[in-house]
A and B are shown apart, each in its own frame.
Chain A
Amino acid sequence: MSKQFCTFVLDRLLFGIEVEKVQEVIRYQEMTPVLTAPDSIAGLMNLRGQIVTAVDLRRRMGLPKNEEGGLPMNVVICTSEGAVSLLVDRIGEVVETEPETFESLPDSVRGEVRQTTTGVYKLEHGLLHVLNLGATLDGIVTSGGSPRTMAAA
């Protein structure tokens, strides 16, 4: 069974989320920062009257700041607890994948990426990282206080 992924680019890496989990993709919106929240929370935005929490995926994955400039895009995901937006560098196409091309993360891959990625699809032109949505979002809550709140204590 082939699967469709909505793809996006983060730090020149191609990531994918199952298409059915994506509610919509929108341009960057003004955010209200939540100063006490963990660093990976980019802020709150108003999505047609709904308040949506935006996650800075680069920070969440421990990737460096985007040096290329340009505003990130919002990939709005529906979760059981409402919508969450993921901030990504660029949006890619919807990609069809074949199960044979999937491989879980090799042991040699370390760091935060292990938690947030389930594996890769070997596409013709490169690797598609499959985002582990559950772990990515759960990690934010469980990782607790950000460096900023620590400083306050």
Chain B
Amino acid sequence: MYGHANNVLQCAAWQNEIMPRVEPSEKIMDGMDEIFIEFLNEANEVLDKFDRDMVELENDPSSRALLDQIFRGIHTIKGTSGVLGLDKLVSISHCGENLLSKMREGEILLTPDLTTVLLTMSDALRQILGCIAQSGTEGDGEFSALVESITAATEGRKAKRATARKPRKTAARKKSSVGSDAAAKNTAPPAATMVAEPAPDPVPAAKPKRKQESPAGEIKTQSEPPAESQVSSIRVDVGLLDKLMNLVGELVLARNQIMQFTTADNGTAMSAAVQRLNLITAELQRGVMKTRMQPIGTIWNKLPRLLRDVARGCGKDVELNMDGAETELDRTILEAIKDPLTHIIRNAVDHGIEPPAVRVQGGKNPAGLLTLKAYHEGGKVNIEISDDGAGINTEAVKQKAIERNLVSPAEAQRLSERELYNLLFQPGFSTAKEVTNISGRGVGMDVVKSNISKIGGTIDLQSTPGHGTTLKIKIPLTLAIVPALIVTSASNRFAISQVNLVELVRLEGAAALSAIEFIHNSPFYRLRGTLLPIVYLDRQLTGFDDRGGSHRDVITIVVLQADDRLFGLVVDEVKDSEEIVVKPLGNLLKEQKCFAGATIMGDGRVALILDVMGLAHKAEVLGEQRSRTNSTAVQKAEVKAQLDEWLLVKAGRKHHLAIPLARVDRLEEMATSRLEWSGSQLVVQYRGEIVPVISVAETLGFSVGQELPPVVAVVVVSWKGRRFGLLVEKISDVVQAQITIDKARQSQYLKGSAVIDKRVVDVLDIDGIIANTCSMVEELETAVGQGGR
């Protein structure tokens, strides 16, 4: 039973990943359902509290604070039900609210009878909530008698029906301390009696029997079966989740350690147990990570209000459109993007969207439109904020940049669009003509950018004059456990987050001797024709400059991205890529800008995590002056970047294939022994996932049934939120080229052929090739879902 339920859950989760886009109409329904569920949970909580408070109030009728709390509770239910169009709930809670408000004014004093009436109301509300949970409607329960008795109480009359019911109820409640069965069977109020006891000790000896049932809410389920189905979520202390996360982090480390031991000693029973431990740990890690995930909607919810205030503040009319509010993110990241997001939205309304009159002149809807969009892509979360405002005035930006001495007038004319937009993220930059109280003080976008960089994210701006601006933020899903590259330098190990990693370059022999060139004292490497500033990690760390001894036999350059600039970090050796648990550095080391934290490696020793931004700053590869003197090089890089980048691979004996680099997640070399079969599908365990591996040569019919070499290259790509590996013989190169695809050889798997670097290559159609294996993948998932238990 248990296993089965799990399978269903897992399949459901996979299905979500495989089919990421739901029809819009369905989504709205989903959204509504979510709101309803949230309301039901909340309302039930409010009612439970209402019962407790009510009983406490009976003991302490003079407590104004309690009465206020009770009133607020009912008011909340009334308000939300009104919004959701739940008329019965509204009318009943409205009556109750009237009664309570009279009580607050001191016109009516609480009597046991009144308490009963109010508690009966709470039961009625609960009953309706139960119906909603079950059938989605308020049900056809009749509550006019209740309403009548409440109204009567409000008006100070005695309602006949209500009085008739009262004595029995009261009797039951009074009897509750005796613990009779009748009282236990009664609806929620007695339960509340128990919960409301401030300290468990003074409970009379006769109570315990019922006391066991009451706090868990069993009584509620006893009297109202429908309510049972609602308890599908519980509230958990965030501190506890953080603690769990830390413990899982420890477990991951312990697992890594154990894995290291077992590779040396290959006992089969042991390695099987370790394999299991490995799988379970990975799954547990994923599960716990998931508990920390929250939909981005939780911070978006506050935006409509903010938007309204800002829009009114500057006399504009703005509509907000949100798409993908269910996209989930780790809560620490969610916390971190809250402020930047607020800032961006203020900016968009204040600077982006024009006043209604101007909009009408421009033939636009007088109300501006702000669109928020969030979605997962390639293991990251993308957030897009677009407005349909005036766009960015590039001339104004240029003027301002010249004014602020960021560029010379001559340089300004040469700046590419992207460089211009990047200027907006410089400190102290604002194109607003006047400073408003909302934005335009020149603090802002630079802070937004640095906040986003801090969590390993990037921000990109696109703008069309007259049509609006789009900001695209890419952030990692989580920060607690991150994939990292382990390198050595100055006889120490260091971890570099994969988020910052662009590529690795290894130079040997003659190439190593002449590869690093100098402009005065600054080292550079020519990476595909562009000068890449070089930073020696050991020199940065030890401060020891051994320029004379800089000739090494082998040079390993880790190409990193800091902000939007690339630089090459020379390390002694690249060890491995590993999932690491990020731990903060103590207070004594907070000044160490080069390090973002530390982690414990498989052997139990500590390794420092490099802070790529901090390192770049320390090495001054991002420094203001350096970047300006380099602007021509950067410009060239920009031009290059507009060309497409292609990954060239070899498949089969002689076939050269090109894969658009933009589609490639990672390149891996692995031992053929790591490849396993699952059903008829070749798979590999990769970062805790089972990744289907597609042999390109075989699919294209180059080499059917050929023996694989001992080491193969796998190009990891994402397709609809899943990872896939493309098995090739060799990864040849990355080239930048504008190619024309000759469609003569177009097929199911190929887009056609083209000439790259004077060689004919076939351009692979990734979607085609994966879609074809997809049916196999589904089979695989079902198989894994069952086998994993």
Contacts and interface: CB of A to CB of B under 8 A. Distances in A.
Interface of A: 30-37, 41, 43-46, 49-53, 55, 79, 81-82, 84, 137, 140-141, 144, 148-153
A50 B585 CA distance: 10
29 contacts: A31-B606, A32-B493, A32-B605, A32-B607, A34-B589, A34-B608, A35-B542, A36-B543, A36-B592, A36-B595, A37-B589, A41-B589, A45-B606, A46-B604, A46-B605, A51-B598, A82-B586, A82-B587, A84-B586, A84-B588, A137-B587, A137-B588, A140-B588, A141-B587, A141-B591, A151-B544, A152-B539, A152-B543, A153-B543
Contacts, number: 82
Contacts of B589: 34, 37, 41, 53
Contact of A148 (B542, B586, B607): B542
Given A82-B586, A84-B586, A46 B606 contact: yes
Interface of A is mostly: mixed
A49 B608 contact: no
B490 A51 contact: no
Contacts of B545: 152
Interface of B: 250, 253, 490, 492-493, 539-545, 583, 585-592, 594-595, 598, 600, 604-608
Query: Which of A32, A37, A43, A52 neighbours the largest number of chain B CB atoms within 10 Å of its CB?
Result: A32
Contacts of B540: 36, 152
B600 A55 contact: no
Q: What 7 A-B pairs have minimum CB-CB distances, sorted nearest first?
A: A152-B543, A81-B587, A35-B541, A32-B606, A53-B586, A44-B606, A151-B543
Given A49-B250, A151-B544, A35 B605 contact: no
B539 A52 contact: no
A41 B591 CA distance: 12
Nearest to A153: B543
A34 B586 contact: no
B685 to A, nearest CB: 25
**Interface centre among B253, B600, B607, by most A CB within 10 Å?**
B600
Given A36-B594, A149-B543, A152-B540, A53 B605 contact: no
A35 B610 CA distance: 12
Given A35-B492, A35-B542, A152-B543, A51 B591 contact: no
Contacts of B605: 30, 32, 46
A107 B543 CA distance: 39
B542 A49 contact: no
Contacts of A51: 583, 585-586, 598, 600, 606
Contact of B592 (A34, A82, A152): A34
B543 A141 contact: no
Nearest to B619: A152
B537 to A, nearest CB: 10
A46 B586 CA distance: 13
A34 B543 contact: no
Nearest to A40: B588
B592 A37 contact: yes
Nearest to A151: B543
Given A36-B541, A49-B250, A141 B588 contact: yes
A147 to B, nearest CB: 9
A37 B586 CA distance: 12
A81 B594 CA distance: 21
B288 to A, nearest CB: 16
B543 A44 contact: no
A6 to B, nearest CB: 21
A19 B116 CA distance: 59
Given A32-B492, A148-B543, A46 B600 contact: yes
Contacts of A37: 588-589, 592
A80 to B, nearest CB: 9
A64 to B, nearest CB: 23
A55 B588 contact: yes
Contacts of A79: 587
A49 B251 CA distance: 10
A67 to B, nearest CB: 25
A52 B586 contact: yes
